[in-house]
Structure 1
Amino acid sequence: MSELVVYPAIEALIVAYLSTRLAARTDRAVVATQVPNPRPDRLVRVSAAGGGDDRLILASRMVIIECWDSREPDAAQLAELCHALLLGAPRDPHEPRIRAAVTVGAPVNHADPDTRHPRYQTTVSLDVRGQLT
């Protein structure tokens, strides 16, 4: 039987990565893949948005990062921070699975139509390293 390359579950990887990095900065944002009910004032939602497997051990994975806060400038700053953390992830020695990061969509105002609360969104493409199995 031939070897398989299995890539990390991108949403779980990014939720864990951003949770750890934000907590290290004493940021109280909740990072999740679903919006909790009730929604916390400061929230980061991670959603997988496609990608491809065009190389042997690396694959591209896109993630959409949505950031809410009670004030628009704070939501914008949270999106900028998450964007910067993901762009810096390939240089982070504590996370060897993220090998490259490219901006697909810089942080933009993306008002929440359901709640009218401030929300900003950014999209990043990441090259992640798989494991041979």
Structure 2
Amino acid sequence: MAERVVFADTEKAIVDFLAAELAAVSDIAEVVTQVPDIRPPRMVRVTRDDRRARLDREDREGRRGAHLILDRPRMVFECTDDSGTAAGLASLVRSIITAAAPGYVGATWCDAVEDAGLENDTDPATDRPRYVFVADMYVRGETLA
């Protein structure tokens, strides 16, 4: 019988980790997975979107490779700031996330982070500045006994 591997909730682990790291540098940005009804003036929305194309072997051939203990969530960080410094917030978030590996992101071990880029993506609904940072994170699962 094959080993059973479970993975932690990556979104929650990153939200908690990023909120603590931003607080450590006295940044007031709120880190969320869903935009609240009353939108905060400075915010980072964290989502997992594995459907975004990676343009590598995994997407071309549908293979994950031999390392089934690893998960590779594609994380999307939408950074907004009503004072006009969304680019600065995105740059800060990018530096925190890319420096996180190798190491723990909360209780989850992260082997590596691949930076997939930063994009100026003005919010079409509100016309507010928004920068989107995308990263692939190689995280380890735990085997079930």
* 1:84 corresponds to 2:104: no
Corresponding position of 1:68:
80
Count, aligned residues: 131
Question: Structure 2: which amino acid aligns with 1:33?
Answer: T
Corresponding position of 2:54:
none
SS of alignment partner, residue 121 of structure 1: strand
TM-score where L is the length of structure 2: 0.82
Listed as ranges, the gaps of 5+ residues in structure 2 are: 52-57, 59-63
User: Whole-Å Cα distance in 2 between the matches of residues 32 and 65 of structure 1?
Assistant: 10
Deviation at 1:128, TM superposition (A): 0.2
Corresponding position of 1:30:
30
User: Whole-Å Cα distance in 2 between the matches of residues 92 and 39 of structure 1?
Assistant: 32
2:135 pairs with 105, 111, 124, which one?
A: 124
SS of alignment partner, residue 56 of structure 1: coil
TM-score where L is the length of structure 1: 0.89
Deviation at 1:94, TM superposition (A): 6.6
- Backbone CA RMSD of aligned residues: 1.9
User: Whole-Å Cα distance in 2 between the matches of residues 98 and 21 of structure 1?
Assistant: 16
Corresponding position of 1:47:
47
User: Whole-Å Cα distance in 2 between the matches of residues 91 and 25 of structure 1?
Assistant: 21
Q: Give 1 or 2 for the bigger CA radius of gyration.
A: 2
Listed as ranges, the gaps of 5+ residues in structure 1 are: none
Tell me, yes or no, if the aligned pair for 1:71 and 1:118 is still in contact at 8 Å: no
SS of alignment partner, residue 90 of structure 1: coil
Deviation at 1:114, TM superposition (A): 1.0
Tell me, yes or no, if the aligned pair for 1:64 and 1:121 is still in contact at 8 Å: yes
